[in-house]
Structure 1
Amino acid sequence: MKASRFQSQDHIDTGRRQFLKLSAATGAGLTLGLNLTTRASAQAADSPALQFNAFVNISPDNTVNVYIKHLEMGQGVYTGLATCVAEELDAAWSQVKCEHAPVDTEKYANLFMGQQATGGSTAIANSFTQMRQAGATARAMLVAAAAQRWGVPASEISVSEGQVSHGSHQASFGELAVEAAAQNAPAPEAVSLKDPADFTLIGREDLVRKDEGKQNGTAVYTQDVQLPGMLTAVVAHSPRFGGRVKSFDASKALQRNGVEQVFEIENGVAVLAKDYWTAIKGRELLEIEWDDSAAETRSSGTILSQYRELVDEPGIVAEREGDVASQLNQGDSVEAVFEFPYLAHAQMEPMNCVAKVDGQRAELWYGCQGATSDQMAIAQLLGGKIEDVKIHTVFAGGGFGRRANPFSDYVLEAVRVARGAQGKPVKLVWSREDDMQAGFYRPAFVHKLSAAVDDQGMPTAFQARLAGQSIMMGTNMESMSVVDGVDNASVEGLVHLPYQVPNRQVEVHNTQAGVPVQWWRSVGNTHTAFSKEVFIDSLARKAGQDPVEYRLSLLKHNPRETAVLKLAAEKAEWGSRKLPEGWGRGVAVHTSFGSTVAEIVDVSVQGTEFKVERVVAAVDCGIAVNPNIIRAQIEGGIAYGLSAALADEVTLTDGNVDQTNFHNYRVLRMNDMPEVEVHILPSGNAPSGVGEPGTPPVAPAVANALAAATGQTLTRLPLRLT
């Protein structure tokens, strides 16, 4: 990927090697395990909150405070992780409170990533045992304190609903807090976790969510942060990606009452004012000449046309099994080309960040999704140490990956602006238009899928050729995701095909474009699930077979996808529920982030117009910590995927993004939202992701439903009937 307008010419190295260098300089260490052995005895007896371990403290007022290491941005992570703690602690749900954990990679690393970050649908999956262990350890310390106070064996003490009991003795957690915090924490192997059959909170439907304040307006988001003397900043970015400021005239802007400063930063011109409206109006008065010599000037149609040419040629082999070429040359073959546009994240809260810079030190307040990488990038930019960067995490209004930017783009922009603000705190605010036209995007892709089929219409060979930008190359995650020139994020969902096909080959062309790209909800699965499932449907129709039965025959050695597909078909009454005239029904099944989701969609068609009427989803995501949140996440993923299926695309004309706001980037409207049913497959397996797996199957299921209704096989998103 070319350097974007957000990348400094002085490269900010946020890779693991740089992190270890900075850590060594500050005396910090990278600990991926759970440190529960810290004693709280050094704390004053009258401390209002006593730390039992990195995740739990209990106050004498009987409040159980749970520190959440993942960003709460509407996905329910406060509730889910607090449930894991409270379950093993045997706390009353009403006494549990949550807050974001401080930024501290040693204590709060994502165990799947090695850094403090939220993403990849990993919050519950990576913290399930860790948070239960934290709760169980705190419980053991409470029991030890009670045993010491009452002079009874710890084995005879019971704990329930926040009360510790033995015969006539009884004490609340708060009454034991000071003594319990002074106990030695037991070793992890000495603490037993509950058998799932004994869960009282995990799996419950009626727990009140813990992301409090959203219903009454008291929740604190970045926009709510107010500091003494704070200025509001906006930045004028280049209309083209890669463009630079050649010259600018700020005289008119500075004449506007309330505009206090205007200056150039690495990626544009910053306007600082007393409030947001004044800053915006000041920015409109700037006269800027841009240097587009290194900018992307192609239109998106030109870029996709070049991709279509690439997939006609062999690419870098991502997976090879058997002899695909000979099968394709000898047998009856089927071929289809799929096209996917750039997509914006379009989260409801655009980018924003409050920053205060004092030399090499910085303090920030924002919805922080990539804490470790942001902290490292800021420290390197300012020439300071990691410990010189303090981040306060607040709620975020959605993310879908955008806030975990691999280049810390808007965060570094806030720091650069604050560095020039003469010691005053600055709230950087991006408008919706800024976010839509100056951000990072899901990369555009073209796929060419080919298959050879036997006399029964079953595939004997499968080939996929993809062309699109890598989202991992050039980032601090390249070493973890890119192997031999293949970015797993580009091909996931097509390699390790769940369907039994003896000969398979997947190839990829890593294209170069000036459009900045990054992960988007469900990452590569956003496009690979579509091409795979629409292609499989076309093979089923060619064979004259029912799409569900055709899939089941190819999944006979895949019990998990088989079970989920059968559950969805049963609940949707596939094959037995008669549809009205002009309706069609489609199916798709896909595994991502450790979870399998099958979706069956009903559509109604009138001429070239259609409406998605109903979606029935089945999911296997392991143990359901909170079924209501799982349903909400799958429903949200379906809505997000439907936006891309029905309306969303980012297009470029001569390098300029055409879309500006929701009037021409039409995210799903309420009246377009179908009836949705979500069914959770019972499981005793460890939890897996739920934030993203609901998104990939819905677009192909809609396309397949339209094919059933109209006979048209649609291979480009967004979907358009002709």
Structure 2
Amino acid sequence: MIPKLMQSLHLPGQKIQASRRQFLLGALAAGSGVAIGYHVLAATPAAASGTAGSGADALAFTPYLTIDADGKVTVLSSQFEMGQGSYNGLATLVAEELDADWSTIEVLGVAGNVKAYGNIAFGGTLQGTGGSTSMFTSFERYRTAGATARAMLVAAAASDWGVSASDITVENGVLSHVSGKSGGFGTFAAKAATLPAPAEVTLKAPADWKLIGNEKLKRFDSARKANGTEQYTIDVKLPGMLTAVMIHPPLFGATLKSFDATAARSVKGVVDVVETPRGVAVVAETMWAAIKGREAVTAVWDESAAEKRGTPELMAMYKDIAGKAPAAIARKDGDADAGFASSARVMEATFEFPYLSHAAIEPLNAVARKNDDGTLEIWGGHQFPDVYQMLASQIAGVTPDKVQLHVMKTGGSFGRRAVFDGDVVVESVYVAKAIGYRAPVKVQWTREDDMRAGRYRPAYVHQMKAGIDADGQLVAWSDHVVGQSIMGKTMFDGMVKNGVDPTSVEGANNLPYAIPNQTIGLTTTEVGVPVLWWRSVGSTHTAFAAEVFLDEIAEATGKDPIAFRLSMLEPDSRHAVILKMVAEKAEWEKPVAAGRFRGVSVAESFGTVVAQIAEVSLNDSGGIKVERVVAAVDCGLVINPDQVRAQVEGGIGFGLGAILAEEITLSGGTVDQANFDMYTPLRIDAMPSVEVHILASANPPSGIGEPGVPPIGPAVANAIYKALGKRIRVMPFAKSLSA
């Protein structure tokens, strides 16, 4: 979700660690149990307070895990769970070093202490989940916490039994001594809490791992997700809680002039209709009453500053800009102009990409309640908790430590819950404040709200150009990217350097191929449509344009697509290794089955390299069916192999739906799509058979939640060319194939 550039301080390949200049391990009595975590060094206790809501007298301690008197192990996750499995990964890290019983593991999301929970990949200055960095930021600190807790439990047992700690073994949550004495974690948790934490602990060697890398280990939360007992924000019910739905401006940039809620207030169950800076909220006893009340509200909008252009006008403008010189240069190697001038053949191609909705299964929601003691509680999908805590405190007029965030699991995000302005979180606080905090308020968006209220993957146009010499070598390359900035004019505006938003060009300005002369240009457009990162961010369009154009060049030079790519890669490079692996697993050298057509692509995103070979077939009416996808993955050290495969499979389905049929279009500034009847994610009968092969690696873990998305589009497009002889350059495919 959040781009690779956010890893600028700690890139994959470096040792992952929490510096002891910043953290010390400590223990805290937790009832009759023990809590283990990083004790934050600070000048005063107040400066090192724990979770949000702690006062100046709170212990300067934030735990990473707790063990209660019953032996239950609770991992306190700094990473947000939205289906990608970060909770399971952190549980694995802790349970491995702790030698815990996997059946006793639970995971809860926590927030409110950036010093303890700051994402190392973001420089440690912001708690956040994204950029497929959860395992990267957690790998050492959560293993260390588990090992520390184990050492303290062993010390407590040794003291009770009067034996040497070295004679005690731990397995599946039970401590045992050679004399036959044994006891569970709960037996020694209270005493362990009174002992000092060891200054140093030794982590297990990979050869001793039982859970990390275990092919048979299944997610600890699978059962409740399957049986429907898992709790999400949409399930939150508080005593006296009211439900609110929003009336957002019909055009992006429009503002409210007035509204008439007379008829709405007469709807049974409606208790209030209030104005907020983000629109009008209809507050009711039930969701249905709120929706019926909303239908009865008449709102008048000032549209003088609104975006009124439609998709045809915007794309025409983009293509016109793409044909001119770029406003900024993101990468310049050699002399592309001279390379083109000396080329025996010059090829060009224009690619068009639409706006895309995140379309998570759980529409946006949040719950806010202000308590008698002045604290403000917010339940929601807190992907950027520090940001939301700050914004909520400003709206409520309280200090940030008075804002307690309940980090809920979320039914998907794909980047949508990581917003700069707090979005639905601040709406819940605005509405609660507008009704005088007299009751808890859940703001729940409908699917139509979710799809029409903005925050899309930006639309882009790529103008590509390639120069080939007399020997068939690619000697010149240029890519002019045209589209909106995600980072510009936000809290991350400082990351836009020399007119280049890295999220617009990632995947284009770091192509691995040895092309002596290349220029990657960018022109950022000013459009009033709200945009945001979308699963795999820039690589969702840059990888497609590059990998499809490369196939076209390979054909022009008479070379096999994989051999052509390998000729421009170092033989032992990650891209070359993973390309060879996917070719072997898909049996690329053998003829494809009759009626099948194959295409290949490879892309790096978030420190992970993924190559895919797609097989497609044609039906009697000329329609395309993606039958099979073989994927090879280099994501560094693998913590949960089953989860890696699941994420790549999910990424393929997610990306395939987008390139086949998904698009957000506008008519006169109004979004045309409102629900899944017009915006069509992949249907189950269109999901191909998927094989995922993971490269064994001892490198630090890199991302996996997103990197499966970028290669699927170009792999399928390249296969479709083999089937139909038609190059796909306008997304989605349904539009290109029907033209």
TM-superposed deviation, 1:48: 4.2
* Corresponding residue for residue 52 of structure 1: 36
* Partner SS state of residue 603, structure 1: strand
Of 210-219 and 346-355, the range deviating more from structure 2 = 210-219
Question: Is the 1:568–1:618 contact (alpha carbons within 8 Å) kept by the matching residues of 2?
Answer: yes
Distance in 1 between residues matched to 2:656 and 2:218, nearest whole Å: 29
Give the equivalent residue in structure 2 for 1:4: none
Counterpart Cα distance in 1 of 2:261 and 2:19: 49
What letter corresponds to residue 100 of structure 1 in structure 2? G
SS at match of 2:627: strand
- Aligned runs of 1:559-570 on 2, under 5 Å? 559-570=573-584
Counterpart code for 2:402? D
Asked whether the equivalents of residues 457 and 539 of structure 1 are also in contact (C-alpha less than 8 Å), the reply is no
The secondary structure found in structure 2 opposite 1:124 is helix
Distance 2:232 2:106 in 1: 18
Shift of 1:704: 0.4
CA contact (8 A) 2:571 2:577 kept: no
Residue number among 94, 106, 110 corresponding to 1:85 in the alignment = 94
Asked whether the equivalents of residues 121 and 137 of structure 2 are also in contact (C-alpha less than 8 Å), the reply is yes
1:36–1:134: 8 Å Cα contact kept in structure 2? Answer: no
Query: Structure 1 residue 299: deviation in Å?
Result: 0.4
Hey, what does 2:409 align to over in structure 1? 395
CA contact (8 A) 1:317 1:508 kept: yes
1:526 aligns with: 540
Of 15, 21, 27, the match for 1:39: 27
Query: 1:381-419, CA deviations, whole angstroms, 9 ceiling, x for partnerless residues?
Result: 333211011111111100101011122111111111111
- What's the offset of the Cα at 1:107? 1.9
After the TM superposition, which of the residue ranges 68-77 and 661-670 deviates more from structure 2?
Answer: 68-77
Distance 1:31 1:367, change over 3 A: farther
Number of residue pairs aligned between Structure 1 and Structure 2: 686
Matched residue, 1:259: 270
The one-letter code matched in structure 2 to 1:224 is D
Q: Which amino acid aligns with 2:335?
A: D
1:527–1:696: 8 Å Cα contact kept in structure 2? yes
Matched, 1:431 2:440: no
How far the C-alpha of 1:573 sits from its partner, in A, is 1.1
Letter aligned with residue 597 of structure 2: G
The alpha-carbon deviation at position 593 of structure 1 amounts to 0.5
Range that drifts further, 660-669 or 50-59: 50-59
* Corresponding residue to 1:592 among 586, 594, 605: 605
Corresponding residue of 1:299: 310
**What is the distance in 1 between the residues matched to 2:79 and 2:292?**
36
* Higher mean C-alpha displacement, 226-235 vs 207-216: 207-216
Offset of residue 608 of structure 1: 4.4
Q: CA deviation at 1:163?
A: 2.1
Paired residue for 1:454?
A: 469
Give the 3 Å change call, closer, same or farther, for CA 34–209 of structure 1 in structure 2: farther
CA deviation after TM superposition for structure 1 residue 160, in Å? 2.0
- 2:379 is the alignment partner of 1:365: yes
Mapped partners of 1:31, 1:128: distance in 2: 13
Q: Which amino acid aligns with 1:222?
A: T
> Residue 475 of structure 1: which of 470, 487, 490 is its match?
490
User: In 2, are the aligned partners of 1:406 and 1:518 still within 8 Å (CA)?
Assistant: no
> Which residue of the partner structure matches residue 217 of structure 2?
207
Check 1:65–1:33 CA distance in 2 against 1; reply closer, same or farther (3 A cut): farther
CA 1:33–1:510: 2 relative to 1, 3 Å: farther
Sequence identity of aligned pairs in percent? 48
Contact 1:586–1:702 (8 Å) recurs in 2: yes
Tell me the TM-score normalised to structure 1 length. 0.92
Unaligned runs of 5+ in 2: 1-17, 38-62
**Larger mean Cα displacement after TM superposition, 481-490 or 673-682:** 481-490
Alpha-carbon separation, structure 2, partners of 1:33 and 1:317: 39
Displaced runs of 4 or more, over 4 A: 30-34, 358-361
Q: Partner amino acid for 2:275?
A: E
Query: Which of 481, 492, 496 lines up with 2:506 in the alignment?
Result: 492
**SS of the residue 1:128 aligns to:** helix
1:101 aligns with one of 110, 127, 133? 110
| Deviation larger for 441-450 or 210-219 | 210-219
The answer on whether the counterparts of 1:32 and 1:109 sit within 8 Å (CA) in structure 2 is no
One-letter code of the match for 1:243?
Answer: A
Match of 1:605 in 2: 618
Which residue of structure 2 lines up, in the alignment, with residue 682 of structure 1? 696
Letter in 1 for 2:35: Q
State the Cα distance separating 1:33 from its structure 2 match: 8.0
Report the equivalent of 1:383. Answer: 397
CA deviation vs aligned residue, 1:338-384 (integer Å, no higher than 9, x gap) = 11000000000000111124697421111221111111111223332
C-alpha spacing 1:34/1:565, structure 2 compared with 1 (3 Å): farther
Per mean C-alpha deviation after superposition, the further-off stretch among 395-404 and 94-103 is 94-103
Could you tell me how far apart the structure 2 residues matched to 1:447 and 1:658 are? 24
Q: Alpha-carbon deviation of 1:649?
A: 0.3
Name the CA distance, whole Å, in 2 between partners of 1:415 and 1:671: 42
- 1:76 aligned partner, one-letter code: G
Tell me the equivalent position of 1:698.
712
Q: Who is 1:194 aligned against?
A: 204
Match of 1:274 among 285, 306, 313: 285
Is the contact made by 2:128 and 2:384 (CA closer than 8 Å) also made in structure 1?
yes
Q: Tell me which residue corresponds to 1:544.
A: 558
Cα distance in structure 1, aligned partners of 2:138 and 2:570: 33
The superposition leaves residues 449-498 of structure 1 with CA deviations (integer Å, 9 ceiling, x where unpaired) of 1111112322111111111011011122222x322221111100011211
Aligned partners of 1:566, 1:36: CA distance in 2, in Å?
Answer: 45
Change (3 A) 1:255 1:214: same
1:174 corresponds to which of 178, 186, 190: 186
Which residue pairs with 1:338 in the alignment? 351
Inter-partner Cα distance in structure 2 for 1:330 and 1:312: 21
1:666 to 680, 696, 699: 680
Q: Is the 8 A contact 2:717 2:728 kept in 1?
A: yes
Q: Which residue of 2 aligns with 1:717?
A: 731
Q: Do 1:103 and 1:392's aligned partners in 2 also have CA atoms closer than 8 Å?
A: no
Cα deviation for residue 256 of structure 1 reads: 1.0
Q: Contact 2:252–2:669 at 8 Å: present in 1 too?
A: yes
Work out the CA distance in 2 between the residues paired with 1:573 and 1:248: 64
Unaligned runs of 5+ in 1: 1-29
Quick one: which amino acid aligns to residue 322 of structure 1? G
Q: Does the 8 A contact of 1:36 with 1:137 survive in 2?
A: no
Task: Report if the CA contact (8 A) 2:167-2:178 is conserved.
Answer: no
**What does the per-residue CA deviation read over 1:87-130, in whole Å, with 9 as the maximum and x for residues that have no partner?**
11111212222222243323211111221111111111211111
Displacement of 1:34 after TM fit? 7.0
C-alpha deviation, 1:141, in angstroms: 1.2
SS of corresponding position for 1:256: coil
232, 238, 243: which one pairs with 1:227?
A: 238
Contact 1:588 1:697 in 2 (8 A): yes
Q: Distance in 2 between matches of 1:346 and 1:513?
A: 22
Q: What corresponds to 2:15 in structure 1?
A: none
SS in structure 2 opposite 1:475? coil
CA distance in 2, matches of 1:133, 1:61: 23
- Equivalent of 1:237, from 234, 240, 248? 248
In structure 2, do the counterparts of structure 1 residues 677 and 385 end up closer, same or farther at CA, with 3 Å as the change threshold?
A: same
Number of the residue aligned with 1:10: none
Q: What is the Cα deviation at residue 603 of structure 1? A: 0.8
Shift of 1:134: 0.9
Q: What SS is found at the alignment partner of 1:52?
A: strand
The answer to whether the Cα contact below 8 Å between 2:27 and 2:34 also exists between their aligned partners in 1 is no
The two structures have a TM-score, normalised by structure 2, of 0.90
| Deviations 1:47-74, CA, capped at 9 Å, x for gaps | 2442122211111211111111111121
Query: After the TM superposition, which of the residue ranges 65-74 and 270-279 deviates more from structure 2?
Result: 65-74
